[in-house]
Chains A and B, each alone.
Chain A
Amino acid sequence: MDIKILGILSGLFLFFLGFIVWYQNRKNPANISLSVFAASSALWCFCLYFYENPVLYTPRVWITLAYFFVFLMVGSTLYFSSVFPNGSTKEATIPVVLYTIFSLPFIYFLFFTNYWIKDVVIVNAARSTITGPVYLYWGIFNLLSGIFIINNFIKRYKASSLLSRLQLRYVFVGIGIMAVSTLAVDVIVPVIFGNSSYFWVSSLFIIPFIGLSTYAIIKHRLFDIRLIIARSVSYSLLLVILGVIYSSGLFVISSLITKTPTPASSLISSTVLALVIAFTFQPLRGLLEKTTDKVFFKEGYDTESVLNTLSKTMATSLTLNDLTTRVLSIITSELRLADAAFVTMDGKNIQIVESRIRNKKLEMTAGDIEKMKVTKKLLVLDEMEESGLKKLMRDKEIFISMPLSTKEHFIGFLLLGEKSSGEIFFDQDINFLSILGPELSVALENAQRFEEISKFNITLQEEVKRATRELESANLKLKKLDQVKDEFISIASHDLRSPMATVKNYIWLARSELGKTPAKAKEDLDIALESTEHGISLVADMLDVSRIEAGRIELTPEKLDIGHEITLVVEELQKQAGDKKINLGSETSEEINVKADKERLHQVITNLAGNAIKFTPDGGRVTITAVKAGNMVEITVSDTGIGIKKEDIDKLFTKFGKLENSTNLPTTAGTGLGLYICKNIIELSGGKIRVESTLGKGSKFIFTLPSL
């Protein structure tokens, strides 16, 4: 073991430094080039070390590789000197390309010929390399590159800001020392003095470079990596100290016990292994602890901090479901429980929330709850004497039952299953629960109240929506009604105007004819009179309709002989029928009594018979009959008129009945109200009306009344 090991350590540190510089800013060419420099220097150190203490390959291979890495070192320095500190690659391209082109023949000589390295021999117990003629030229090439680099650095130094100058100074001096001394040991001494046994010394010259750049990093914020370095220093120191202690310990022990020096390779590999063990110990331990904690019992929670967490959770959970679910999850994980559940009572409503779904769902009847409620204390299954209650809890796999109640209300229970470890519950658990209980009860009650209010709110909203809907539909109905009323008024005024126009016109005519043709004037006045009658009956009909619609029509039913009533109408209409030569008659075989309002019955029969006469051609027949049908009497008005189309029958009884080919208007002469009024009177009297009709042959209007 000698000072040469320092080369290895320097190399490791350089690696580390290079990695951090690269990691800090992976895109900046300055960072990249300096880290390439650091990495290649480190590899160069390793190769020099293995050249002296060969493993795997011959010393010749190692020294060849060492020379190769020098190309990278010089190249990256060249690049670095062209891009630091601005990071612009503009000026770096040409020098680097030129350097690479000139390097290629040297690399060829290095790897594939004996013109550079002739042989590696041992002279005076020291390893030395016999160099060929190319070596000198390579030395000169490096010298020229060096001059270019120095020139570059000076140019940049002058153009830099104060801070960059300071940074540059240290890096430059570090690389300078390294370059000059390496040149001296590796080129000048071997070439001039023919002694190449001091190669290994050159690897030590990277130590000043490391020192100076580290200083620049810490003192002058080079690459802004001070913080990372600071954080890493303790770790690195630990690494170094551990490595040193372990390797020297191993070395001493093996020297003392086995009396044989441990080979460097096994020393290194066992040191590395030791470091790996040392640095994986802590995380590994944590991981294993976590795993084993899940399997084995470990009294591993801090009452205060768990209570704290729970308090925060309770304060931020509004709904009952949210609160219970979150609290259960915390309790089961902290106390390492197989499961836990909340049973809450809201009135008679039992609600159960479980921490996880078990094969057998937890079920609690009101009776079970009553049983468990009795003691009002926290129950621990293992500490209970045999009883019905204990049996109940065992059946339900409840290991702890904690009743929850506020001053005013009983809220429910927190039920805990067994611990995952199978361990018993400790004093800490019981204490924890007894502290948690009151706060949890209040939180649960609040959540229940909150839900009640929310529900009430929803009900209220629905109520408002429903009321709004009702109002909207009422409004719509009113609008429709308004429209109907409008139409009614239009039609009613039309119908009233019609007879008035006739009256007006005929009186005007009569007046103009009065002196000249009195007979004609009388005819005109007759027509005017008839129209006046029509107008009067129209007003009566409209009043009736208005009464019917308002529900104000009053009937005074009495016992009436229907035959007699029919005869009265027949007599009254005889003249009207006679004008059209219509045979109007009645057929009632026996005395039949009905219960009806006398005037209204008269109105109905007159209306139906009048219609029949109106729609029956001259010389036809209109007959009115009455027969008993069970407890009703059936009165029929039949005619031999034009008949009514099937599709029109339904419309007959509507107000201003609409018939075929009309937009929105009644089309028959007359009020169009008569049948509507008849139907309403009959129905109010407890009867019904229907129509049977054959087109072209005649119609039958049949209505019923209660018999007496």
Chain B
Amino acid sequence: MDNKKILVVEDDQNTRNLYQRVLESAGFKVDVATDGAEGLTKCREGGYDLVLLDIMLPKMDGIVLLGELKKSPPKVPNKNIYMLTNLAHDPILKEAITLGAKDVLLKTDVNPEELVNKVKEILSVG
């Protein structure tokens, strides 16, 4: 389980800290990015088992990030990209799926335990 790498792209400090805390205590290796630009740089390095990507981000939003990533994909691909957001605007969510996200998770829908379970399910461990 130690070798599963997760990237959390989240600008809100409290939220970011929380996700990092619960995922790390579940045994995952967690990397974070605080804005879209940093998120893109890390995604381009590739090799993450899961990227949890917010949409409303400073410097570059999550949708643009997906587009850029699609234009020049990393050598070692990221296995899963999930949107983790509070935005429920259908056209934008559809666009995210078209650009390569596997699914969309609403932040208000999952508490930390549920999130960990969902992540485990995605990564088929535990």
A residues sitting closer than 8 Å to B (CB atoms) are 486-487, 490-491, 493-495, 497-498, 500-502, 504-506, 508-509, 527, 530-531, 659-669
Contact = CB atoms under 8 A, between A and B. Distances in A.
B58 A508 contact: no
B1 to A, nearest CB: 21
A531 B63 contact: no
A501 B15 contact: yes
Interface of A is mostly: helix
A659 B37 CA distance: 13
B57 A506 contact: no
A573 to B, nearest CB: 20
B112 A493 contact: no
B106 A497 contact: yes
Given A494-B85, A508-B113, A669 B59 contact: no
Given A487-B89, A665-B56, A667-B36, 14 more contacts: A494-B85, A497-B88, A497-B107, A497-B108, A501-B15, A502-B14, A506-B18, A508-B113, A664-B92, A665-B63, A667-B56, A667-B59, A667-B61, A669-B12
B15 to A, nearest CB: 6
B111 A508 contact: yes
B14 A506 contact: yes
Given A502-B15, A506-B18, A490 B86 contact: no
A661 B112 contact: no
B86 A501 contact: yes
Instruction: State which size class the interface on B falls in.
Output: 20 to 34
B87 interface: yes
B101 to A, nearest CB: 14
B108 A504 contact: yes
B94 to A, nearest CB: 13
B69 to A, nearest CB: 14
A660 B37 CA distance: 11
A669 B11 contact: yes
Interface of B: 11-12, 14-15, 18, 21-22, 36-37, 55-61, 63-64, 85-89, 92, 106-108, 111-113
Given A490-B89, A501-B108, A667 B15 contact: no
A207 to B, nearest CB: 108
B67 to A, nearest CB: 9
A660 B36 CA distance: 11
A425 B20 CA distance: 116
Given A501-B107, A664-B92, A509 B18 contact: yes
B111 A490 contact: no
Nearest to B12: A669
Contact of B36 (A487, A490, A506, A661): A661
A258 B51 CA distance: 141
Nearest to B37: A661
Nearest to B106: A497
A500 B86 CA distance: 10
Given A505-B15, A527-B14, A662 B108 contact: no
Contact of B88 (A490, A502, A505): A490
Give the most central of B36, B56, B87, B92: most A CB within 10 Å. B56
B74 to A, nearest CB: 19
A494 B56 contact: yes
A614 to B, nearest CB: 12
A500 B110 CA distance: 12
Contact of A505 (B85, B86, B92, B112): B112
Contacts of B37: 661
